[in-house]
A and B are shown apart, each in its own frame.
Chain A
Amino acid sequence: GQQVMQIPQYQHVQEGEDFTTYCNSSTTLSNIQWYKQRPGGHPVFLIQLVKSGEVKKQKRLTFQFGEAKKNSSLHITATQTTDVGTYFCAGGPKAAGNKLTFGGGTRVLVKP
């Protein structure tokens, strides 16, 4: 079955620094979605990328979808303590309908 992998599993970041988390799928995706889950919270939708090579920005967050639509990345600049949480990528092939497969997540810890 389809697998979605994320690296790194953990990211310890000094406040103010940048970091990137990566997402790789074993199959071509119809789109990729990113979610953030704060400690003790529930996943909250951040963004969806649909087109090959697409890049979208949300303030300090930059999301990219690979040309082959099998990988994606999330880059955060000038990390803040509010960025703490687990970031999940999720997607599925077109044939999967509305079934999302989640990556394992990157748990982000920020050192003030």
Chain B
Amino acid sequence: DTEVTQTPKHLVMGMTNKKSLKCEQHMGHRAMYWYKQKAKKPPELMFVYSYEKLSINESVPSRFSPECPNSSLLNLHLHALQPEDSALYLCASSRFRDGLYEQYFGPGTRLTVT
């Protein structure tokens, strides 16, 4: 199984709402990632978890809060977002040892902040 699943597929939320994005993989990968992608732009790294510990935070505003409950699950908690946070949020996973490995992306959650 080389699939990364993400829910929901679409999300519309107001600036005062709290919501969560979910990501799951069953490939035994020990690195998981959150990316943000705006239209016609490349994926922009937000967070990296390695062995369920946050290893990279690319200076993301605190209104985005990641969580890795176990080796298969990754969440992104959203609170008090701004309209400019509207984007496609991609989760990815990869093996994690010494070096870079190919990343498997989920289909993404298309987020609209109103």
Contact = CB atoms under 8 A, between A and B. Distances in A.
Contacts of B94: 98
A99 B103 contact: no
- How many chain A residues sit at the interface, stated as a range, is 20 to 34
Contacts of A107: 40
B55 A44 contact: no
A45 B103 contact: yes
Q: Is the interface of B mostly helix, strand, loop or mixed?
A: loop
Given A98-B48, A104-B42, A31 B100 contact: yes
Query: Taking each of B43, B50, B56, B106, which has the highest tally of chain A beta carbons within 10 Å of its own beta carbon?
Result: B43
A105 B106 CA distance: 19
A100 B45 contact: yes
B90 interface: yes
Interface of B: 31, 40-45, 48, 50, 55-56, 90, 94, 96, 99-108
